[in-house]
Amino acid sequence: MERSECNSKDNLIKLLKNWLETNEQTIGNGENQIGAVKWIFININGNNYYINADTTREGVEVFVNNHEDNFPWKVITNNRGVFKKVTNDVNGNRIPGLYFYSSQEGEREI
């Protein structure tokens, strides 16, 4: 997938669904995009979010399926204890392989 920008949840989900129809294993095309390379930029209600290039197919599939089940999007703590990680897991847990973050710290629903 090329680097992208979205301005709504619906646009992001559409972009991710289109990407799931490819054979790529990470959203950064595997083009030496290792670690925290911001790849998709999202602005929702004036807050900025991003998804890193090393986000995996499995993480995206879970995220899209959870969205279709109407699970809420929320910001939870990252591995450093800072409220920056985005999830839509029904129990508020991290989604393995999904590297989706808020640019602004703070616990909230999106």
- Give the tens place of pLDDT for each residue, 32-82: 656 678 999 999 989 999 999 999 999 999 999 999 999 999 999 998 999
User: 57: which 2 tokens?
Assistant: 């197919």
Measured distance CA(90)–CA(14) in Å, rounded: 21
Instruction: Look at residue 30 in the predicted model and tell me its pLDDT.
Output: 64
Average pLDDT (10-29) is 94
How many alpha carbons lie under 13 Å from residue 49 in its C-beta half-sphere? Answer: 29
What integer pLDDT is reported at residue 96 of this predicted model?
97
pTM of the model: 0.93
Across all residues in the chain, what is the average pLDDT?
Answer: 93
Residue extents of the structural domains in the chain? 4-109
Residue 27, phi-psi category: left (phi > 0), alpha (psi -120 to 50), beta (remainder): alpha
Find, among 70, 78, 3, 67, the residue nearest to 40 by Cα: 3
pLDDT of residue 65: 98
Give me the pLDDT at residue 23, please: 92
